[in-house]
Structure 1
Amino acid sequence: MKRTIKKVAVLGSGVMGSRIACHFAGIGVQVLLLDIVPKDAADSSDRKLRNKIVDDALAATLKSNPSPVYTRDAIKKITTGNFDDNMKDIAGCDWIIEVVVERLDVKKIVFEKVEQFRKPGTLITSNTSGIPIHLMTEGRSDDFKAHFCGSHFFNPPRYLRLLEIIPTPHTSPEVVDFLMQYGDLYLGKTTVLCKDTPAFIANRIGVYGIMAIFKLVEKMGLSIDEIDALTGPIIGRPKSATFRTADVVGIDTLVKVANGVAENCPNDEQKDTFKIPAWLDKVVAHNWLGDKTGQGFFKKTKGGSGEKEILVLNLSTLEYEARKKPKFATVEAAKPIDDLKTRLKALVSGNDKAGEFYKQFHYGLFSYISHRIPEISDELYRIDDAMMAGFGWEIGAFESWDVLGVAKTAEAMKAGGYTVAPWVEEMLQKGFSSFYKVENGKRLYYDIESKSYKPLPGGEAFIVMKNYENQTVWKNSACRTYNLGGDVLGLEWNTKLGTIGGEVLEGIQKSIALAEEKYKGLVIANDAPNFSAGANVGMIFMFAIEQEYDELDMAIRMFQNTMMRARYSSVPVVVAPHALALGGACELSLHSDKVCAAAETYIGLVELGVGLIPGGGGTKEFALRAADEMHEDEPETITLKNRFLTIATAKVATSAAEAFDMGILRKGHDEIVMNPGRRIADAKNSVIEIFDRGYTTPAQRTDVKVLGRSALGALYAGINGMWRANYATDHDVVVAKKLAYVMCGGDLSEQTLVSEQYLLDLEREAFLSLTGEKKTLERIQSVLKGGKPVRN
């Protein structure tokens, strides 16, 4: 049957329930959020009192940072109510999600009520993280059972991409297929099909990993600070590493999952690893449960002079003490290595305490995941997908094993007393040396049942640039241009944080030229953690300090020319940004034929923060768009002022949806791709679609209306007002006035139509003049040293 999801009911408004409701509202779905009636309002007819629990929970969620919604307008799609008065309203919902307390008896009571009002055929799922899914359907109708399964979201649902789908033996295959696809396409999730085993996939492996580290803490005498230094970004894991993650999740939650596995998995060869160490029992007994209780493995306090200080728990004394920055020779040697896979090899081959930790940690993990097939999953890639999407790992465990060499590592594991599952031994004996491989741009995985390689599901929908390395058309030391098939080229660059310097600009120009020769167009994207943090300010600083203004002028011209080349090429150029897309990356997006942005794209023109104005065409483009948006029925300066303030406050969109509201993305033109894994394929399809419907090179604009002196006076007055109210420093005023001058087209006596090149020249002159300002250089130097601009 064809299903559409127009309205969802979320039953339970706790931390997860409210956030799941927000995520659905964020993608445009109507949501009914219900919870119990407070005991003291049981006899009241006051709707406000009866809905106090659900309303307070939603209000608290909306105050959380980062925001659980893409835009504040999404909140309007959520209606609140209670189980007594509003359970009947679920009859109008297409999907009912249960998120009540983790007790089977309570869930069964809720499902009994649901069955009274639910329409036959309506989806019904549970967000449980540990209760066996099949136990919840006892006593329910056949229709309920056929449309019921587990749908385990990870917290926070907007940001953690994993959605585990856990069917029961009664669940209809059509329901499973629909939820897998809907989660992927509309919710932006990595949907992972799980077996109904304790803790499913991600928590089973993730909690094993944490508990195994706890064992190594005791065995190797490592401190909390040492472990978190060893298990964070250095190995491609989140900054929260191990102990900080436990504080965020809740130490009691971690213990509960570990106990659940220990009790319910009698055949798990590592069940002893899940036993709670004595020191952890004491931490829980003290109610030091992490962020929820104000202290856990870490504790925030105020120092002697009132500044915030973070203390760390000494696991031997169970007393808090000052943090110590650990140093390991292996880690220090590996830090300069940008490529994670190369860095991982260096870490595991270390000969100090850190190297020994990495060996034991990885050997234990590899042994454990090999033995979990086919218990928790028949396919190895599902384990990697779950850990990357649910725990924020940059690469999965099987992929890490590939990096270190499967056969070589298996031998080292056995020599160290770690077992390897028989299927891995058999795979190696048959001459298969890796769990994954790439052929013709397609990633394949080793399938245990057929004893052969199979393509990962998704095919053309999930393009990974690096899989096309054998289709490289052109490269320099920073960039690669690939043939993505379908007569489309793809460009990516590998600079630190994706910064844009001379070689990247060369790569953009060259890729466009190659596309114009014999292809339909160009996709610009990458698979790095961030798209791009913008222009290479280090290069700007170097030229400015040495007063190489001719070189600087040439560099700015090249940047502007490259952006205009993207705008006025003879083939479509589509940009697919994700995560950070700041400064020059935003300017590139502004000048593309189309933007296919991941929902989580944080994009903006941030140059004012370092005492500059956007110099790669961003200021020009905002002035042009302001001119096009002016209406006769409102003062012309309103639109210009709004555009000016967006740049002057260095505002960054906190989502792609917000980028539309800010006028960075164009309504009816650019698009949001909910699943970031699909954005490159969507961008490629957009290139083909734009080309095939008859692409023609746009004509450069010579009719941009600028308002001159009249608008300049109004903007100057606003800037001075901000300065008088102490919202702007003296140097902020200098920079903002330069920006206003460019956006008004200079000190013209009346409204005038000008060309894009006229505005680009003004923009470049203003940018150059600001690089000669001492306070601008101080701000740039502050960013280069500490990552943040000084307020001067």
Structure 2
Amino acid sequence: MNKRIIKKVAVLGSGVMGSRIAAHFAGIGVPVLLLDIVPNDAKESDNKALRNKIVNDALGAALKSNPSPVYTKDVAKKITTGNFDDNLKDIAACDWVIEVVVERLDIKQSLYERVEQHRKPGTLITSNTSGIPIHLLSEGRSADFKKHFCGTHFFNPPRYLRLLEIIPTPDTDPAIVDFLMDYGDRYLGKTTVLAKDTPAFIANRIGVWGMMAIFGLIDKMGMTIDEVDALTGPLIGRPKSATFRTADVVGIDTLVKVAKGVYDNCPQDEQRDVFNIPSWLTKVTENNWLGDKTGQGFFKKVKGPNGEKDIQTLDLKTLEYGPRQKPKFSSVDAAKPVEDLKQRLQMLTAAPDRAGEFLRHFHYGLFSYISHRIPEISDEVYRIDDAMMAGFGWEIGAFESWDTLGVERSVKKMQEAGYAVAPWVEEMIAAGHKTFYKVENGVRQSYDPATKTYKAIPGGGDFVVLRHHTQVWKNNACQVADLGDGVLGLQWQSKMNSIGGDVLAGITKAIELAEKDYKGLVIANEGPNFSAGANVGMIFMLAVEQEWDELDFAIRAFQNTMMRVRYSAIPVVVAPHGLALGGACEMSLHADKCCPAAETYTGLVELGVGVIPGGGGTKEFVLRASDEMHDDEPETITLKNRFLTIATAKVATSAFEGFGIGVYRKGLDEVVINQGRRIAQARQSVVDLYDAGYVQPVPRSDIRVLGRSALGSLYAGIHGMVQGKYATEHDATVARKLAYVMCGGDLSEQTLVTEQYLLDLEREAFLSLCGERKTLERIQGVLKTGKPVRN
């Protein structure tokens, strides 16, 4: 087969999904033609702006939306807009046409008829439909059209939800399916899941069953909305939006539509009655309480007597809103402090209280349902798990949850409680197979019901999972594993993956082990975030108790560890994702190379808690400013830009923005679009650096600092910020300390200094700020609420 290259994409339909799919393609560098209908009142003689009003308004609204659909603002330049009447002919220059118009078969089919007049043979044509059988859409089209046609079901918002379901028809060329599976994974950063052409495909079939089953349990057990959302969110490895908040975000009408679609089109579904709409849900939709889009749903924002915003919850019995109630379950109080999700699930489902009963019933129903969906919606268990993790944000999949609770033990309890499992599960247990997943020689395998054996999950080498590799060392927080290819991998678990003494010891130990017997080290974490930074709780405790020597020791340890990352005898590559703030950003700054996932939010945020970056971050920004200075610019410009990035606690909202704020280095650090591939890419980077003849770097002693000449300018700028009410007095106190360090102190002229000189200044400033009452108030605010106090 000729190698297929996607040079340009056409997106037909600019609604919420279409405009955001276009933005995602533009975000990875692919030019996009975005088309929609001409307004009804527009004439042929009207100018382009009037005829393209619908598409331009939709794209403008998408680009202004929050969260942003683009990695950086200049991505919009890659999107060209037009309309179906004037510009459909332009799809002849596109390699892939994605249809995202209204969910009506007749409208889609009539558009395809027009598309066929202009598309060049061999062009991919796919539909983002979620409610129409894919095979019906291509009826009446040419053989070439049918061969290159299938469903590509993106989840909204496409930038953030990682699932892409690929749904072929009987006429789709298998080579096209293979191409889309690979392209979605490698270029779009998606978990691509091959789905069958069944109602709601995989993720919505299971996900909407889950929500409808919970609605049924509410009626049976007399639970409240607040109770259910407390039990079905992060506590069990699901998103913060849990159940009812998710429904409000997605749209309650959308949920009802999918549920009705499954009920009407799946007469053989053994749990079909679960998809029946409860009377209270019918009333909610009749009242047009559809969630965020109508301003109220299961929750409603109201203004309190003093104008403050308050969120009220719907009482499903009275259909009246009232204050939110914080549920109290003893099992939840006991399980919450447990960091390990699997251990937490085991505790919760074994609990004797109402929370335990609810979670047992929910999981038993879920396990029963997924067992009966094979082979109806998927032949493989791992595809169902992949779809739920990527599409609904589950931390572990449904079959993996079943493994966690013990398959054989659960089946006995399920049958006692009246839940049936599919015969293949009973056969699996009878044959002595006790789990759906197992790991052999670092390769993850899943049970295959068709052959009654375990098979390696495809693409395992590209998706390195640290916990599946042989452990070579561990302490209370960290694990070091052999990733193969002569590379070690370090990860840790703590609250928000914060970096404390155990983690610093783990980094040092991992480097020692790698220097002795390996090519290098990858530092990465699994779970939602890389790291929220240094352990501020420990800093607060030492500062409050005025243990200045211990605090000084702790900061030195952090600095020394970061310098060990920089000046080790082997390459150290950091692979961050999610939050990589403060101390985690400092670690990235000191690595030989960074392989951040595209969705990495990084920055030196210490000013927000009243201190300056104290783990080498300030020093590193001065060093980089020194290297960036050149003769034909005022010398303070580069330093000032670096100063402002720290002083305003600027955070990059994507890895691409990380280059813009000077955390990542162009030509060296490498963004990995698919988060699941970042550790494998980091491992390859270690091997490449080693094979290229890695030489241990030498600490720098040639860093140019500007002294008083720059200090005066920065102080004047800080004064102006206070006068303009952009900064508080304490902001100014912290900023002046930062300026002092970044200028190398009160030096009378430009001087070349060492890294250690700057580290000492940085540490002294950090320590002195920890003695400020207002800094301690800010740290305490973060510890209590997660947000710094503005004082």
Q: TM-score if structure 2 supplies the norm length?
A: 0.99
Query: Is the CA contact 2:164–2:192 (under 8 Å) kept in the aligned structure 1?
Result: yes
Corresponding letter in the other structure for 1:410:
V
Partner of 1:459: 460
Query: Is the CA contact 1:99–1:128 (under 8 Å) kept in the aligned structure 2?
Result: yes
SS where residue 789 of structure 1 aligns?
coil
In 2: Cα distance, 1:553 partner to 1:397 partner: 47
Corresponding letter in the other structure for 1:124:
I
In 1: Cα distance, 2:534 partner to 2:337 partner: 21
**1:663 and 2:673 equivalent?**
no
**1:161 and 2:162 equivalent?**
yes
Corresponding letter in the other structure for 1:339:
D
Per-residue CA distance 1:73-121 (angstroms, 9 max, x = gap): 1111011100000101111111100000000001001111110100100
1:519 positional shift: 0.7
- Correspondences of 1:385-534 after superposition (within 5 Å): 385-468=386-469, 471-534=470-533
In 2: Cα distance, 1:140 partner to 1:42 partner: 31
In 2: Cα distance, 1:171 partner to 1:741 partner: 65
Corresponding letter in the other structure for 1:175:
I
In 2: Cα distance, 1:240 partner to 1:51 partner: 36
In 2: Cα distance, 1:58 partner to 1:479 partner: 45
Partner of 2:632: 633
- Correspondences of 1:349-388 after superposition (within 5 Å): 349-388=350-389
Corresponding letter in the other structure for 1:58:
L
Partner of 1:105: 106
Partner of 2:92: 91
Corresponding letter in the other structure for 1:223:
T
**1:580 and 2:591 equivalent?**
no
In 2: Cα distance, 1:651 partner to 1:442 partner: 40
Query: Is the CA contact 1:602–1:653 (under 8 Å) kept in the aligned structure 2?
Result: yes
**1:51 and 2:45 equivalent?**
no
In 2: Cα distance, 1:774 partner to 1:252 partner: 51
Give the aligned length.
790
In 1: Cα distance, 2:753 partner to 2:333 partner: 55
Per-residue CA distance 1:52-91 (angstroms, 9 max, x = gap): 0001011111111111000001111011100000101111
Partner of 2:141: 140
Partner of 1:559: 558
Partner of 1:691: 690
Per-residue CA distance 1:416-461 (angstroms, 9 max, x = gap): 1111000000000100000001112111100111111111111211
1:43 positional shift: 3.6
SS where residue 716 of structure 2 aligns?
helix
Per-residue CA distance 1:729-765 (angstroms, 9 max, x = gap): 1111110001001111111111111111111111111
In 2: Cα distance, 1:412 partner to 1:215 partner: 20
Partner of 2:301: 300
Per-residue CA distance 1:671-713 (angstroms, 9 max, x = gap): 0011111111110110001000100011211111111111111
SS where residue 97 of structure 2 aligns?
strand
Query: Is the CA contact 1:491–1:525 (under 8 Å) kept in the aligned structure 2?
Result: yes
SS where residue 200 of structure 1 aligns?
coil
Of 297-306 and 195-204, more deviation after overlay is shown by: 297-306
Per-residue CA distance 1:161-188 (angstroms, 9 max, x = gap): 0000000000011110010000001100
- Identify unmatched segments of 5+ residues in structure 2: none
1:42 positional shift: 3.4
In 1: Cα distance, 2:11 partner to 2:43 partner: 21
Corresponding letter in the other structure for 2:569:
S
**1:208 and 2:212 equivalent?**
no
**1:237 and 2:238 equivalent?**
yes
Corresponding letter in the other structure for 1:324:
Q
Partner of 2:64: 63
1:633 positional shift: 1.8
Query: Is the CA contact 1:44–1:50 (under 8 Å) kept in the aligned structure 2?
Result: no
In 2: Cα distance, 1:634 partner to 1:111 partner: 56
In 1: Cα distance, 2:322 partner to 2:541 partner: 42
Query: Is the CA contact 2:339–2:494 (under 8 Å) kept in the aligned structure 1?
Result: no
- Correspondences of 1:325-344 after superposition (within 5 Å): 325-344=326-345
Per-residue CA distance 1:465-489 (angstroms, 9 max, x = gap): 1112xx2222111111111111111
Corresponding letter in the other structure for 2:671:
I
Per-residue CA distance 1:237-287 (angstroms, 9 max, x = gap): 111111111111011101110111011111111111111111111111111
Query: Is the CA contact 1:563–1:617 (under 8 Å) kept in the aligned structure 2?
Result: yes
In 1: Cα distance, 2:327 partner to 2:441 partner: 44
Corresponding letter in the other structure for 2:293:
K
Partner of 2:197: 196
Query: Is the CA contact 1:436–1:444 (under 8 Å) kept in the aligned structure 2?
Result: yes
Partner of 2:790: 791
Corresponding letter in the other structure for 1:186:
Y
Query: Is the CA contact 1:612–1:770 (under 8 Å) kept in the aligned structure 2?
Result: yes
SS where residue 256 of structure 1 aligns?
helix
RMSD: 0.8
The verdict on how the C-alpha distance between 1:762 and 1:402 changes in structure 2, with shifts beyond 3 A counting, is same
Partner of 1:28: 29
Per-residue CA distance 1:288-324 (angstroms, 9 max, x = gap): 1111111111111111111111111111111111211
Per-residue CA distance 1:381-422 (angstroms, 9 max, x = gap): 100000000000111110111111101111111111111000
Partner of 1:540: 539
In 1: Cα distance, 2:284 partner to 2:552 partner: 60
SS where residue 484 of structure 1 aligns?
strand
Identity %: 74
Partner of 1:221: 222
SS where residue 418 of structure 1 aligns?
coil
In 1: Cα distance, 2:628 partner to 2:312 partner: 53
Corresponding letter in the other structure for 2:621:
F
Partner of 1:740: 739
Partner of 1:601: 600
Corresponding letter in the other structure for 2:640:
K
Runs of 4+ in 1 over 4 A off after TM superposition: none
**1:674 and 2:654 equivalent?**
no
**1:772 and 2:785 equivalent?**
no
SS where residue 476 of structure 2 aligns?
coil
SS where residue 534 of structure 2 aligns?
coil
Q: TM-score if structure 1 supplies the norm length?
A: 0.99
In 1: Cα distance, 2:29 partner to 2:479 partner: 37
Corresponding letter in the other structure for 1:149:
C
1:647 positional shift: 0.3
Corresponding letter in the other structure for 1:476:
N
Partner of 2:256: 255
1:45 positional shift: 2.2
SS where residue 421 of structure 2 aligns?
coil
